Structure 1
């Protein structure tokens, strides 16, 4: 018997470290680690000990004898990986960076951004003696897209929060949540109070289509839609027209599939997740029966990952169909195109809701007067000329418009969501490259004392586990600068800038977390999210702190106190 990874996993290497026989690849230090869609278990060397299942934070590993029919493709995918990557020449893992003692009595670092990138950076820092880290975020809750971006029907992926809770429990860690840099604190405050600042602020905005009708009611960003159904306090009061029978999602990445799946899902199924109650109520009244997912390029160039496509194909209550299947698809089919070909051959079941994947199509104009009534599109062709992307060393293909638009190419729809990528905002005080949408850096170093990690560093790419290797590189550059004497010591023995009265520390977040979980237990759900900022702050104030010294809210520190924004070492 062998174990199998059954979905997109966090790829953070917890299972790799736990495996006693080095049978999970790619491992840290090996080609592909941090960039692969998932990890793979070598069926020839797996000894069926189950250590990987205990270590996996998202419960992605199963014995092959317990796979469901829908999960069987992952077994074939696992075997196929080792056919191409036998790994017989690989040395045993693990590549574990050595501890580096700081030359200062204490190294104080501010991390801006409490999503996966920021928390992995904090974890890497706290592995070294003498380091304290305060993680800042403008929201009262941490975890970034792991909380507000992962689709609610992917509860297994949300279990990555176990890793983050372990980071929070480390001595030297503190939070200063509900604190916006540039409003409540400033870049100069952080530099004065810390040896270094790491910005891990992600990519909070979306890309625009740049076509007529984009401002109509019913045309919206998938970024905002995802935040709405996940209960993000800035978007939880949103409203979307769900009174038509068709919605269109523009884009063919994982976010596009998430949005399509949620729009087509049975609300009773979603009611067992942590979806926003407001979104759930709206989806219960939805009349949408079909979601069309438009891809500008062809099937071979689709941006969604194979595990997400397999999960979509396995839905047993929704028809998943493919339109515009190209007759000239290359003969060297990939596993992804093989799945798509099988979907293209399916016959729809009358009466079912459906998701239609339509390739080689791009939007030209959103149609409507005061609201969206349709989307005019044109067929595209894939330019066979390839261009080398020097950053990823991957061949990319460009979809070219046919420049012909016919009346029949208008898709009737009441809702059009663009899911064509995230984009970062410039960070005050840091350089910004408008072309890449990221901060220029050298291994994460913007300049000595100022660093970046995550999407603001590399652009919106990679998976949750990618942030781990990204954080390792940034922290290594920071410690190099410390050892070279390039970091300016902070002023005073403790941060003097103090937090504003409503800054939420670690105990405040734990009070919010427990209130949401308690409400969830009453309804048989993982949690019931608190949707409004004021209600979140009230939960942080009213919660009973655990049996430990600490504060629900940050306050201006006195001499010798712990850095504000958290509850001290814990």
Structure 2
């Protein structure tokens, strides 16, 4: 029996470090790390020790002979990665032998404790905090503009991917670390300035992500039912900055989504999944109610290019193929589509479409009673049609245009970073200019995650990104290049309390967690989230 990694893989490489026979690739020191969809276990080398399964933070590694349902295909997916590769020797620079843990951080014996603020409590920020807390004696201040921690794990991961959300439990153990101080619901640039934050710490790491969405720049894009997929994801995840009534599913039989990346597939899947299958997740109460009364029966995914350039991962497409009661269709409107699918290399998304029905879809017909998802390649949105609201989308088709009737339009064409007050910003890339994570022109200021490298890479990619930034920070500290704090350690807490009486600390965060889990137990759910800032703050104070 061998083990296999499944679609919930977070690619953070925890499993790589514990494997005694070097059978999990790509490793962080290999060129493909962060570029592949996930990590893969080599069935030829695996010795069935189970160390990787014990170490996996999202419970994504399972015995191959016990995989069932959608997961059953992952034994072949893992093996396919090694089809044309020689087995890696259990020796050499990538070999991880059993023995005492080794740490890559090498600091002088007299290295004095430093105070580091981390702005943002999503994966990038928490990987940076974890690195500092495990490998140095630094004191860490966690700051987040929302009154609850989690970032992308809490508000970006689909509710039907509970395994991926499990990495949040790994991060949460650091929230109550004795060298951590937490200030949630505190916004840099509003409650405190970047200069004030820097004056209270030796260094500041910004892990603020990419909170904005990209726009298409087409007519009709601002109609009421034309919204960003990022807003839709936030809506079904109970993000406090998106109102419960922000999405109306009662009138749209067909939804058109611009994009075919993982976010596009996530929203398509949620829209057509039987609500009974979501009732046991942490989906927002208002979203579950809306889906139960939803008129949506068909979701059309638009891709500007062909099947071979589909932006989704194979794992996300596999999830669609195994969705109960949902038909998958490829609109065969373009003569290039069939050959691209049939000639696709094994393992990629296009090859997975070979057994999906292809037909030339007649858009003049209304969406049927059954639920289905339609892939329409070689189609770019040209205009959102409608007067007071969305009535359809005009798309390119073989040099001409086609009209797809629809009552809701979602654009899922990527995220974009926002400028942070007090920091330089590159408008073209939506990132903060840096060198190895060190912000250009600002001593003691660093970036990590999407605000550093742009909106690319999943949760696990942030571990390597954080390691680079923390390494740069520590090198600066050893070289004496960090500015000394102008105020004592507890002064920042006093400053925050004087500016924001609703700030939430670690004890308040624990109270929110207990309250949400308690709300969930009654309905057999992991938690029922509070969906507004006042509710979160009240729960932190013990008032529900």
TM-score (norm 2): 0.91
Q: Determine if contact 1:124/1:472 at 8 Å carries over to the other structure.
A: yes
What SS class does the counterpart of residue 522 from structure 2 fall into? Answer: helix
SS at match of 1:354: strand
- 2:345 maps to which residue? 333
Distance 1:87 1:195 in 2: 46
- Aligned partner of 2:418 in structure 1 is 425
Contact 2:226 2:408 in 1 (8 A): yes
Say if 1:87 and 1:201 are closer, same or farther in 2 by CA, change over 3 A.
Answer: farther
Paired residue secondary structure (2:222): coil
SS at match of 2:356: helix
Query: Structure 1 CA distance, aligned partners of 2:109 and 2:532?
Result: 41
Listed as ranges, the matches of 1:487-498 within 5 Å are 487-497=482-492, 498=495
Shift of 1:86: 2.8
Aligned with 2:393: secondary structure? strand
Confirm or deny: 8 A CA contact 2:308 2:344 kept in the other structure.
no
Deviation of residue 69 (structure 1)?
A: 4.3
State the distance in 2 between where 1:541 and 1:254 align. Answer: 37
Mapped partners of 1:70, 1:178: distance in 2:
39
Deviation at 1:347, TM superposition (A): 12
Of 171-180 and 504-513, the range deviating more from structure 2: 171-180
| 1:107 aligned residue | 114
Equivalence for 1:549: none
Map residues 380-395 of structure 1 onto 2, 5 A cutoff: none
| Correspondence for 1:300 among 284, 308, 324 | 308
* Aligned residue in 2 for 1:368: 386
Match of 1:459 among 454, 458, 483: 454
| C-alpha RMSD over aligned residues | 2.1
Which residue pairs with 1:13 in the alignment?
13
Query: 1:31 deviation in Å?
Result: 2.5
Residue 73 of structure 1: CA displacement? 2.2
Alpha-carbon shift at residue 501 of structure 1 (Å): 1.6
Could you say if the C-alpha distance between residues 362 and 178 of structure 1 is closer, same or farther in structure 2, counting changes exceeding 3 Å?
same
Distance 2:516 2:28 in 1: 36
- Between 1:211-220 and 1:93-102, the stretch displaced more is 93-102
Cα distance in structure 2, aligned partners of 1:154 and 1:538 = 28
Partners of 1:279 and 1:47 lie apart in 2 by: 44
Partner of 2:515, secondary structure, is: helix
Alpha-carbon offset, residue 346 of structure 1:
9.0
User: Is 1:178 aligned to 2:185, yes or no?
Assistant: yes
Query: Cα offset for 1:311?
Result: 1.3
My pick for the range that moved more, 364-373 or 61-70, is 61-70
Q: Distance in 1 between matches of 2:482 and 2:245?
A: 44
Does 2:356 correspond to 1:343?
Answer: yes
Q: Which of 396, 400, 403 is the equivalent residue of 1:378?
A: 396
Structure 2: give runs of 5+ residues left out of the alignment. Answer: 362-366
Three-state SS of the structure 2 residue aligned to 1:537 is helix
1:216 equivalenced with 2:223 (yes/no): yes
Report the equivalent of 1:272: 280
Name whichever of 174-183 and 62-71 sits farther off: 62-71
Which of 357, 363, 384 is matched with 2:375 structurally? Answer: 357
CA distance in 2, matches of 1:519, 1:467: 32
CA displacement, residues 215-256 of structure 1 (integer Å, 9 cap, x when unaligned): 112101111111000000111424223212101111111000
Q: Residue 174 of structure 1: SS of its match in structure 2?
A: strand
Where does residue 406 of structure 2 map in the other structure?
Answer: 413
Aligned to 1:437: 430
Structure 1 residues 168 and 84: CA distance shift in structure 2, 3 A:
farther
Report the CA distance between 1:494 and its aligned residue.
Answer: 1.6
Q: Find the aligned partners of 1:413 and 1:131 in 2 and give their Cα distance.
A: 54
| Greater CA drift, 328-337 or 534-543 | 328-337
Name the counterpart of 2:264. Answer: 256
Unaligned residue ranges in structure 1 (runs of 5+): 381-401, 545-570
Q: Distance in 2 between matches of 1:85 and 1:527?
A: 44
SS of alignment partner, residue 167 of structure 1: coil
- CA distance in 2 between counterparts of 1:543 and 1:102 reads 47
Following TM superposition, by how much is the alpha carbon of 1:350 offset from its aligned partner in structure 2, in angstroms? 7.8
Is the deviation greater in 330-339 or in 218-227? 330-339
CA distance in 1: counterparts of 2:158 and 2:69, whole angstroms: 23
| Whole-angstrom distance in 2 between the partners of 1:268 and 1:253 | 26
| Distance (Å, rounded) in 2 between the aligned partners of 1:84 and 1:303 | 24
Q: CA distance change for structure 1 residues 35 and 97 in 2, over 3 Å: closer, same or farther?
A: farther
Deviations along 1:493-512, one digit per CA (max 9) or x if unpaired, are 22424212211111111110
